[in-house]
Amino acid sequence: MIKDELTPEDILDRAKSISTITEKPEALRRCRLLLSHLENNPLVLNGKIDLGNVEFLSVLKRPAEHPKELPWAGENVSERFLSPNQLWVASLKNLLGLVKPIVDERTVPLSDNIQAKLKLKNTPTVDDVAGQLYLICNAQLDLNEKQNAMYVQAVMREAYAYLQNEAEKNPSALLSVQERLHDQPFILVGTNLLKPQQVAFEWSTALPPYLYELPLELRTLYQDFFQLMGVKQKFDYRDYMVVLQGIQKQYDKKRLGEKLCNVVVTLVRLLAVEMKTKLLSTDDVEKDCGSIMLLDNAGLMQPRSLLCFNDCPWVPDDSSFLYVSTKIDYHTASVFGVRTKKRENILRIAEGFKIPFGQREKLTSRIKRILEGYNEEDEILKEMLQNADDAGATEIAFINDCRHLEGDHLLDDNWRMIQGPALCVYNNAPFQQSDIVGIQNLGEGSKAKDVYKMGRYGVGFNVVYKVTDVPTFLTKGDEIGECLCALDPHSAYLTGASPDTTGIMLRVNDTVKETYSDMFKCYLHERFQQQGSTMFRLPLRTREMAQKSKISHTESTSQDVTQMFQIFEKQMLDILLFVNNVKKIRLIQIPESEEQAEEYSVTVSISPEDEINKTMFVQHVQNTSRDLRQKSLKIEDIETRSVSYTVKLEDSRGVSETWLVFQRIGFESDVQIPDAVKDAFLAGELAMLPLAGCAVQLPSFTAKEKNVAMRSRKLYCFLPLPGNTDLPIHINGQFILDHEARRRLEDGGGFRKAWNMTLIEYVVAPCYLVLLNRVKSITEENIQLLRNKCNANSVGLSTDVKSYIANFTALFPSPGYSAESFWRTMSTSVYRLAKSSCLPLLPILQTELGKSEVNWHDPTSCYFRISLSNQNTPSQSSFQLLENILLDIGFSITACPDQVYEGFVEAGVEVNTVTPLAVINFLHSATEVLDLPQKIEKTSLMSAERLGVLIEYCKLEDKFLEMIHETPLLLTNDGILRRFSSEHPVYITEFMDLVPENQELFLHQSFIALFTQAICLDSCAMFLKFTPADLADKIESVLTKELYYNKKKVPYNEEFGGWLKRLWIFLRQFAHDDEKCNTDDLYRPLENWCLLPVLQASGDGKMESYLYQVSQATKVLDLNVGTTPVDISQKIVTALKTLHVPELYVKQTYNDIDVIPEKDIPQVLCANLSRADYVLKALSEAFDDGVLNTDCATEEMCNDILVYFSQNIIALEIDDDSDEMLRNLPLHLTIGKELVSIADSDAYIISSHSKVLQMDLSWMDCCDVVFISKQDHKLIDLYNFLDCPEMDAVDLYLKYIIPHFQRLTIEGKFQHMEYIKDKIWKECILSTGERSFRLQETLRNLQFLPKKDGKWYPTSHFYDPKQPVLKTMLEEERFPPHPYNTEDWLTCLRNIGLRTTITCDMYLKFAKEIADEAESDNYSEETEEKSVMLVTYLFNKILTSHDYSADNLVGLLSAIKDIRFLLPGLPNEELHDLIPAHGQKNWSRKKHIYLL
């Protein structure tokens, strides 16, 4: 018998025989045959045989590409064949080929499965791999040879991959590898084998042959392995130092070549960057790594401490200088502490003219805190002016130097900062030695003990740090000579500056000026006299300086200085009023382009006589100050003395002003000085003088300057302080200011605040009152001069007099300051002094008959204007008009403004004012002035506007309405002014135009708002409310009763369009205002009048307008009242308009007003979209009357209407006839796209999205029902209400489509069957029940499958083409035609009758056909395939299936046993070659054989 397998014993015998064959080709052939058999029969190796020690596998010899310098383990094996236990799998040849023998898979291919079953070695150790790497590292390979490089790269990649995998699993397993390869070049980068110390994961610089970056592939794939082997993430300073020191050691004192010099320079730059990044000093690096070696200018390596940087070639050379290489830039050299030539030179030449100088306090934080108190942008200029005045300077100039000056001849690079834009300040007074000392003591200047000096070079000088971090100045005088000084609080900018000496001072001589000429150009010696003067240069803080500054992070620019000048310029006309010495101030702009400088200046002058008086007063003050310091005088004993003088200010633009200044020192004898102040003087804590003054600008008599332009008035402490006092005059005093900023009064409590309060109350206030009295005298003189010059009755005279009076009264202090403020104290003190002194300071202006008379009164003898402090008072414009009205009707008022009155009140001084009650009482008695009734234009009130102003003011009286009886304040709408009377009340309404013939019955329309509230008061009998009933009584004066009364409708008359709109607005407003009003009561007085505008289509479709009787409103649709959502509402409106439904003509009511349907008239009367039941009735009536325009109806329109009714179904359910009306309307869309009524038919709903509607609908012709298309899911409720059920697809097919299937077209039949297959069948097959069964049976009998004969057949007529035997043995026409032969169709057809099984008779027939074919000339491979298929079906299906009865099976087997339809087989040729069969050499096919 033929067999296809070898026994285990056969295999073992064949394996052992291989090594005994002397001829290698034959041995290899047998080996291949054996292994091929094992490949095909791997189960024979499952424990039945052990070939592990049988030497029958070939050993891999050295590959041709293997470098000759490297060993190969296979060369050390003497035997041709080795056992599986001695060999390694071929996949490891690159990983272990140097150290382990590898199976020769090229000669004898082995699958992974066989290699595993033969147990070939496949698990290398890390030591094996490390050993192979070690051999490569020490083989002296020439990797520039391409073949060597490619081979080594492949071997290395496999080793790296293996070791990376081991590192991920168990890092500790690589300890032995670390030990063996630590100092070996096992990392392949390009054609170089490198040690771990030479490679980093990240490094962008290439420095062969010293340092490299690990390639992207290696660091991505093998990161863990290389990290364990010591490869760094990045190189650090230690690596750079090792290379630098290695180069220095290698070359010692030899000059380096150009290429190596570039390498050294690169390493030095990298080292510098590393040190800066890690904040390492040179000491840190040298302590860790030894001396830092740099390259000198001769190309030699030198210690960095011996080198310097040549930054100033113009300074003479010194032979002792050893320069760093020019390849190394300054910024890099500075990291290593390499000094500059300038610095070295300064350190050598400074002795003799540089002395330690600077503010010797801890500065930056203190200065920063001080600057927080300076909020004004021009503080610097004021402080410098103050210091110059204290120094005795008579002139000061501020210069905005925008230039960037060129030049390198500077003391060192740090001085280059003064070359840029700067703020310069010049004054014609030099520094004294005391000033040098004072400027170094922050907060304690040289004038600290001289209370009469304003602030010379003390705390205030530090305001310069707002714009600079390094202030400098050049001064030249007899006492200290010429010095250049600079301050450096940061100790960061000046050579030689330190925390102890934060600045330097250089003694200047000609040699210094010549050597550093560029530096001294900055001090503008060509523009200003230097002898006996001081020039400050404040270099503006740059952005870079600001980022590092500990004082301010704000950059300063020339634009900032320009802005500072602009602010200061506005104050220059005021700033010299109280200074002692400075007579001129200049502002100079030097542009960057060095064009001609721009200058603005202000000078001050006083008369010689006033100068003498002022000088005597100043001398008295100085003597008093001296006596106080010497304690020979007490504060309360200071002699009271004052001075008054006139100051003239002029600027370079031609502006000239005159000011009156009054100053005073000392307290009156009756003043009680606070004990805290006295104690502070005795303790030496207070040394201030009771010195104060005021200044007011005087108007000129010339017309041009008659009205003084008011600038903001300031508070002075010799110079103006920031902010405004809101006072009309300048106030000066020796106040105690905030200790740090000194820019506001000290109000923190204690003796300091007490001193300021005392000075204001007892010195400033008396000065103020004296100044007012003197200005009053000047005003009187000016008015008299004006009278002498002008005609006494001139109209212009009155205006000019008022102007003078206004200018004077504006000088009174304004009230309203907080109770604890200094100016509240001053204001109340002035007003109390005005009363107690009984000075006649208040003007009364009378202008009767064109004359202007001014009389002066004290505060207790006149009345003041209306107060504007109450929020209910009139506006400013109305206030002025009211004053004129009161004056015109004979009411006298003082000319003082409210602020004067309020000032007296605030001070507790009682005065008289005009009140609404006083005016009302005056009007009751004003019969002679107002003779009524008459046209208002003929009365002294002159106009309705003026009357309104008067009424508004009188209404401020709470009992105004109770008091208006008989007051001449009633203006009726006919323009007649009358007296109010309860016997003749008037209507209050804005709709008086509805009855145009009776205007005397209505209050004038201008006053409705003023008296509206009176209607609500039952006690006020002067007014009536206008109602619809009142209108109905008077409407015949407008409409003709015969035309508009008791008519159903009349044509619309455009003549009454405006009146009609006003009518409906009136009714709407009345309904809104009167919430208790019933709708019926509202329109019943007018219900029989034709007043409702309606649009209605005529027979030809043209829209015409009518007026319907109000009682017919419910038959009209108001389409302007919508529903929600808005889009549905708009669609309904469009639909109803298209159908020509009678609608409200809204444009003739109030179309621009938002409508409230529940309340508005006529909306509440008409049908609208919020009343669906009314809308349905209106539509039904229109349809019944034949006026509904259904010809224009569209599907979408009808759908919108039905959706609207569906959304309002609850409203429709109220009426029992709603369903009949809805069914009767021709608004229902069938699936055939017709709009029909469903009143007389059964109706079913079919979804408009159903695919059925897209196919042949000819089946509908035989149906007697209506199929409605469900266009919108929102119609579900509506058709439920109409009892129209929705029919699903299954019922539709069972009841209507399938019974009429033969009426369909061929294409229609296919489309419907496709839909049944894809949709209906899939849904139905998942369910059980009668419908599923009915559908299945119906489809079984349905003849829908066509054949070539043109007839239609049921599914049971065809066989399943997917059954292989049937497909092979039957003709094509026995299967379903295309496309019914696709898989998705066949799945369905199998369930409705498609034949899928082979009967016994069919099988017998098929067997006979094969036997006959085998005996005939038609025998082919296809015959053999049929035979195999039929036999397979017999054993796999027929004999195992329960579908065949036992009798049928017996009969079948009996019938086929004698039929020759079986195919014989042949033996395995490969096994025959390995083990030949006995007595047989060749096999051939025979004819088919019997089954049994």
Cβ atoms of residues 81 and 107 within 8 Å:
no
CA distance 1176 to 1201: 10
Question: What pLDDT, on the 0 to 100 scale, is given for residue 691?
Answer: 93
The rounded average pLDDT for each run of 10 residues, N- to C-terminus, in the chain (1492 residues) is 66 83 81 81 77 85 87 79 87 88 81 83 90 88 86 89 90 87 88 90 86 89 90 90 88 87 90 90 90 89 86 68 85 86 62 43 75 77 88 92 83 77 94 80 48 50 89 90 86 73 79 78 87 93 90 91 92 88 93 85 92 89 86 86 92 92 90 87 86 88 46 84 84 82 72 89 92 89 81 66 87 86 89 88 70 78 63 61 76 83 89 83 75 86 87 87 87 90 88 88 88 71 86 86 86 86 85 72 84 81 84 79 70 82 80 65 79 83 76 84 86 84 86 83 81 80 81 82 84 82 84 83 72 82 84 88 87 88 86 86 86 85 86 85 81 86 65 52 42 44
Give, to the nearest 10 degrees, the angle between helix 916-924 and helix 944-954.
120
Cα–chain center distance at 1062:
51
Helical residues (DSSP H) of 1168-1301, grouped into ranges = 1172-1184, 1195-1207, 1209-1212, 1218-1224, 1276-1281, 1289-1292
Distance CA 697, CA 702 (A): 15
Residue the block writes with tokens 């001769």? 298
Kindly calculate the radius of gyration of the chain based on its CA atoms and give it in whole angstroms: 59
Q: At what angle do helices 1400-1415 and 1446-1456 cross, to 10 degrees?
A: 10
Q: Is 392 left (phi over 0), alpha (psi -120 to 50) or beta?
A: left
The half-sphere exposure of 1404 on its side-chain side, counting CA atoms within 13 A, is 14
Is it true that the peptide bond before 421 is cis, omega within 30 degrees of 0?
A: no
Nearest Cα neighbor of 1287 from 1309, 1308, 1263, 1310 is 1263
Buried b (16+ CB within 10 A) or exposed e, 410-439: bbbbbbbbbbbbbbbbbbbbbbbeebbebb
Angle at 618 between CA 616 and CA 619, to 5 degrees: 65
Query: Residue 353's pLDDT is what?
Result: 33
CA distance 99 to 771: 117
What's the CA gap between 795 and 851, in Å, rounded?
Answer: 9
- The number of CA neighbours under 13 Å toward the Cβ of 975 is 5
| pLDDT of 588 | 94
Structure tokens at 214: 């690990």
**CA 16/CA 877 separation, integer angstroms:** 130
Distance CA 141, CA 133 (A): 13
Alpha carbons within 13 A on the beta-carbon side of 791: 5
The structure tokens 């079953």 sit at: 117
φ, ψ of residue 781 in degrees (nearest 5): -65, -45
Which letter, b or e, does each residue of 773-786 get, where b requires 16 or more Cβ atoms within 10 Å of its Cβ?
A: eebbebbeebbeeb
Asked if residue 828 lies in contact with residue 907, where contact means CB atoms within 8 angstroms, the answer is: yes
Tokens 């063996």 -> residue = 180
List, in sequence order, every beta strand (DSSP E) within 1347-1484: 1352-1353
Using DSSP bridges, classify how beta strands 212-213 and 232-234 pair: parallel, antiparallel or unpaired.
unpaired
